[in-house]
Amino acid sequence: QVQLVESGGGLVQAGGSLRLSCTGSGRTFSTYAMGWFRQAPGKEREFVADISWNGGSTHYADSVKGRSFISRDNAKNTVYLQMNSLKPEDTAVYYCAGALIQTYSDYGVDYWGQGTQVTVSS
């Protein structure tokens, strides 16, 4: 199946920035909508952002809107999440996700990455 690998997580101070990357295997990456989710300790996984197959449409959770920006480079099989003005409440494991169009239309996910830890210190 498709393999998604996240990178770019780490420890940053509040107010700082971080760019997460997710690289996918396979030759059909460009046909997938891509997204980012996060899961903080003791909480359910929550939606952060997504981007359509051609990058023409994006959505953001209210909690990150205006601070985070999703983009993709299909030639590199990579999706990015640029996070600015980070807050301690952004601390979580961030997961990359991919969905074919029907799954995406159903608000579902076909493939998950293993996650990358983002820790924001106060």
78-83 and 68-73 as β-strands: parallel, antiparallel, unpaired?
antiparallel
Please give the structure tokens belonging to residue 116: 């990358």
Geometric angle at alpha carbon 64, from 49 and 16, rounded to 5°: 115
Amino acid present at 53 = W
CA 28 – CA 26 distance, rounded (Å): 6
pLDDT at res. 61: 97
pLDDT at 28 over 90: no
The mean-pLDDT minimum among 10-14, 26-30, 44-48, 51-55 falls in: 26-30
Mean pLDDT of the chain: 95
pLDDT at 27 over 90: no
CB of 88 closer than 8 Å to CB of 21: no
Reported confidence tier of residue 109, pLDDT bands at 50, 70, 90: very high
Please give the structure tokens belonging to residue 108: 């579902």
CB of 31 closer than 8 Å to CB of 53: yes
pLDDT at res. 19: 98
pLDDT at 26 over 80: no
